[in-house]
Amino acid sequence: MPESPSVTSGTGVVPDDSEAGSGAPAARSVDAALSGNGASGSAGAAGPVAVDRETLRLALVVGGLVLAVLLGFGLGRMNAPAGAARPAGATAGVATGGSDGGTHAHSPGTGAHTHDGATVTQGGGDGATGLSITSAGYTLVPSTELVAGRAGELRFQIRDDQRRAVTRFAVVHDKPMHVIMVRRDLSGYRHLHPTMAADGTWSVPITAPGAGPWRMYADFTAVADDGRQVAVVLGADLTASGAYRPRPLPAAATSATVDGFTAGYAGTPEVGKSVPLRFRVTGADGAAAALEPYLGAYGHLVALREGDLGYLHVHPEPVRDGDDVTFWLTAPGPGSYRMFLDFQVGGVVRTAEFTLTVP
């Protein structure tokens, strides 16, 4: 009778004892086979066939590799969401707007870019910022109660992703922190510059002129532990007690008057395109006003979107174009916007307000 072939499994070589002679031992363990204690015999002898030690080792290695590959493929299929594909270089477990050990992520659709020498890492998917209380690993924590018409104090902290109060900020536009306050109907605009205590608490006096829902924006550049500068705009909702009577948004116009000064601009914003808006301020006599530097430039422009109150980064040119002050604005989408131009003449800062409609 010819020798019975050995049966190979994932755990070793097991002799087939179905046709073994009387008294044949049971299937041998792998340890026994590797120890060299297996019985040997001639071609016609009854009992299990002796297996060459090197052949057995090779079979074990190959079997283990095949099993590892099959298990890895199966686990990968189980863990991947149906129909989802992970982009090359993506890191599992890194949350948008969080920290991943030295680098950072930002909202979908917003690429990292520079702003006054810092890296801007957050924003809405269409380019508007200030839509979230947390972004790029930083969180705005306000501790303020507003009462319409009553003097109060705005207090808040900026905390990092370890819930520590942030105390290192870069000076941008002459200040380490810019706070914008506006009511949800885009009235009552305030541009404030709070001071910071040693524990990282910022505070500034404020009087809410009207009751209802308000939005505050903290516009700052934080200095991380590794020295990186990260420019962030965070937003939070506040409420001033009292009856809320929203005002309709004024009609769109390219000029506005404040304290005897007229501010007007030329330029037509376009969706998704950076467009220059050239502002000129004139006095009661029609002559160009003697603008003075304010916040590192001859004006400061904030644009807010009606509805979600998205905050737009508007970059000024560092030098004037004759009597004009130029800002670059990118409209993230069609709709109505409210623009606030701060300018300084005779040591007094005034704000001209415009409604802008982007088709």
How do residues 51-83 score in pLDDT, each as one tens digit? 455 554 555 554 555 444 444 444 333 333 333
Predicted structure pTM score: 0.67
Q: Which residues contact 74 (CB under 8 A, 6 or more apart)?
A: none
| Mean of pLDDT values over 285-299 | 94
pLDDT score for 168: 97
pLDDT at 311 over 80: yes
pLDDT score for 28: 34
Query: What average pLDDT does the chain have?
Result: 75
pLDDT score for 60: 55
* Per-residue pLDDT reduced to its tens digit, 187-243: 999 999 999 999 999 999 999 999 999 999 999 999 998 999 999 999 999 999 988
* Per-residue pLDDT reduced to its tens digit, 248-273: 999 999 999 999 999 999 999 999 99
* Per-residue pLDDT reduced to its tens digit, 121-180: 444 456 799 999 999 999 999 998 899 999 999 999 999 999 999 999 999 999 999 999
